[in-house]
Amino acid sequence: MTAVVFDVGETLVDETRMLEREADACGVPRFTLMALVGAAIERGEPPRRVFEWLGVPRPVVTPFTEDDFYPDALPCLRVLREQGLRVGAAGNMRAVHEEVVRPHVDVVASSERWGVEKPAPEFFELVAAAIERPPGEIAYVGDRVDNDVLPAKRAGMVAVHIRRGPWGMLQDGSAADLVIDSLAELPGALA
């Protein structure tokens, strides 16, 4: 393994906090927005569809902040880089969020900037190109089996399922090459 790439939402950052800010900005109860996001994912639709269902434009809110990172995220990124691995972050997110993650990784990318979203095979091809490693040398870490684990595995990457956030807990990660409960486990598990 020469590189590790992380999904951003629910893997590195607590996406719930962003959704709460979006709910507040468009005047929708937080629970309603969260329930609709869950319904969208269960139906195989992108979470941004909830704003169409609510009949409101998706609000532009403050990007992720340092406070939105999970407590184990930044220490894990530091250790992996100290171990000589290339570290990246790429996910289905707005381009504005890249700037918050950029100081902590070698490569960061958003589906908005790339114009392609997970689970499309092209997304994972772009991950390999951006991190400048062949797929077999990349571990891709994500919370969603349908959007992260299975497509990364199909792309020839080592698929790591982190059991956190709603989908990380609900989806069966047994197809993953590695299952972890915390990013603190990752450096040792990859060694």
What pLDDT score was predicted for residue 108? 98
Give residue 75's domain range: 3-14+65-190
Report whether 122 contacts 112 (CB < 8 A).
Answer: no
Is residue 92 a part of any domain in this protein?
yes
* Closest of 134, 124, 61 to residue 91, by C-alpha: 124
Residue 48 amino acid letter? R
Cα separation of 27 and 83, whole Å?
Answer: 45
What pLDDT score was predicted for residue 151? 98
Residue 18 amino acid letter? M
**Claim to verify: residue 40 and residue 123 sit in the same structural domain:** no
What pLDDT score was predicted for residue 94? 87
**Claim to verify: residue 87 and residue 158 sit in the same structural domain:** yes
**Claim to verify: residue 116 and residue 49 sit in the same structural domain:** no
**DSSP-based three-state secondary structure for 62:** coil
Cα separation of 65 and 80, whole Å?
Answer: 21
pLDDT in tens, the chain (191 residues): 999 999 998 899 998 888 899 999 999 999 999 999 889 888 888 888 999 999 999 887 777 888 999 999 999 999 999 999 999 999 999 899 999 999 999 999 999 999 999 999 999 999 999 999 999 999 999 999 999 999 999 999 999 999 998 878 888 999 999 999 999 999 999 98
Percent helix / strand / coil, the chain, rounded to 5: 50, 15, 35
Is residue 146 a part of any domain in this protein?
yes
What pLDDT score was predicted for residue 72? 98
What pLDDT score was predicted for residue 10? 87
* Closest of 81, 83, 108 to residue 13, by C-alpha: 108
**Claim to verify: residue 90 and residue 41 sit in the same structural domain:** no
Enclosing H/E stretch for 107: strand 107-110
pTM: 0.90
What pLDDT score was predicted for residue 169? 85
**Claim to verify: residue 112 and residue 181 sit in the same structural domain:** yes
**Claim to verify: residue 169 and residue 186 sit in the same structural domain:** yes
What pLDDT score was predicted for residue 29? 96
What's the N-to-C CA distance of the chain in angstroms? 8
What pLDDT score was predicted for residue 107? 98
- Dihedral (Cα; 92, 76, 179, 122), 10-degree rounding: 30
**Claim to verify: residue 27 and residue 91 sit in the same structural domain:** no
Is residue 74 a part of any domain in this protein?
yes
Question: Which residues face 4 on adjacent strands?
Answer: 87, 139
**Claim to verify: residue 153 and residue 178 sit in the same structural domain:** yes
**Claim to verify: residue 109 and residue 161 sit in the same structural domain:** yes
Number of structural domains (the chain) is 2
**Claim to verify: residue 37 and residue 89 sit in the same structural domain:** no
What pLDDT score was predicted for residue 18? 85
Name residue, tokens 């609709």.
36
**Claim to verify: residue 128 and residue 158 sit in the same structural domain:** yes
Is residue 49 a part of any domain in this protein?
yes
What pLDDT score was predicted for residue 170? 83
